[in-house]
Amino acid sequence: MCAVATSPSRLTNVVDNNDIQAAIKGLRGLGYQIEQSVDELQITPRIKPLNKPASINTYHSGTFSRFVCAIAGLDSVDIEINCSNKMATRPMHELFSALNELGVSVESPNQMLPALIRGPFKLRSCQVDAGRSSQFISALLIAGARLEQGIKINLVGKTVSNSYVDMTIYWLKQLGVEVLRQPFGFEIKPGQTMNGIQTVVPGDAVSASYFMGLVGIAGGEIKIDSFDHQSLQGEAKFYQVLENMGMSFIKEEGALIAKSNGQLTAITVDMAEMPDVVQTLAVMACFAKGTTRINNIAHLAFKESNRITDTANELIKTGINVKFGEDFLEIEGGTPHQATIETYDDHRMAMSMALLGARTQGIKIIDPNVVAKSFPSYWQQMGFCGLTSVAVD
């Protein structure tokens, strides 16, 4: 958003991980000016549009891939968007179809990345199916905020991860652009100006979830700093789910204290708005008394891995009884035993499954460095909290 704004921005408390580096490098490849220092980004708008073709790589980042495809439509030259092999298997068709409706040319033989995109946007109205990812909506809103004609997004079918759309709308408002919620979907009226901002980036609720999970399984107490109690991120309410499992929490200004005696109780819960902590919950359910059922998670099949079947299969390796279907996981609590865990090139698989080690000896994580996608210091931070890891051949 700040890259395509009309005035400079300064962002602080910016973490450094592979996804963010992919975004910085990719946006620079499109002529946007971004300077990085420690935990800060200085972002300066482009002086003029691209005047020659460009090629960038989004690597493994689903968020950046979706957003930059829409942003590429703001330019009137060919922009080649490449990605990792894993990202090349993830859904893009719904976004490409919407961009085509808006007059943007998208060349992709299989309606996935890699793709060749050429703008400009010629029309202001499209329809999009966000049943597999809300990022399609967010991408269109961010690009639409820079269109003189604005944009109208007609929603088709059910939308998942609505809280992330709410986040997009919130931050667009901070940059001076109002998004109207309409019966048909969303609308940005013509003639709005997208201004730069200076702001502190809130802490990530999903990253915090692993430390809640650790203390929930092992028992004890942990204080999580930089916790945004006002966050629109759905996962910021994960602690309320864990309260139902028997944990207790104390809210402090800018912090959250999690406490547990290590005794968890199974629950039935709808996790449609908290997709990125489902695996954390699934691992915790292995140690809960009773059978936990996690519902409304069909969209998890289209993440970095199939987080329904792959999560189930890895937990089954530890001796836990797991049932699963198109939109649910059902996990019977028990006593997991040692196992070698595949990560499927999925950072959240590695981070969540590592929590098994809080009460189970001999949990081996294959390709642990996959955490660099979002949380490069994960193993070090977990070590500070008592969950030690040792590299093995």
Q: Is 47 exposed, middle or buried (0-12, 13-18, 19+ CB in 10 A)?
A: exposed
Question: Phi and psi for 289 in degrees, rounded to 5?
Answer: -80, 120
**Calculated CA dihedral for residues 132, 138, 143, 147, nearest 10 degrees:** 110
Cα separations (Å) of 144 from 1, 17, 227, 312, 383? Answer: 11, 28, 31, 39, 44
- Bridge partners (DSSP) of residue 154 are 127, 185
- Bridge partners (DSSP) of residue 37 are 40
Radius of gyration of the chain (CA): 21
Which residues are tagged catalytic?
A: 276
**Total residues found in the chain within this entry:** 393
CA neighbor of 65 nearest in space, from 303, 239, 362: 303
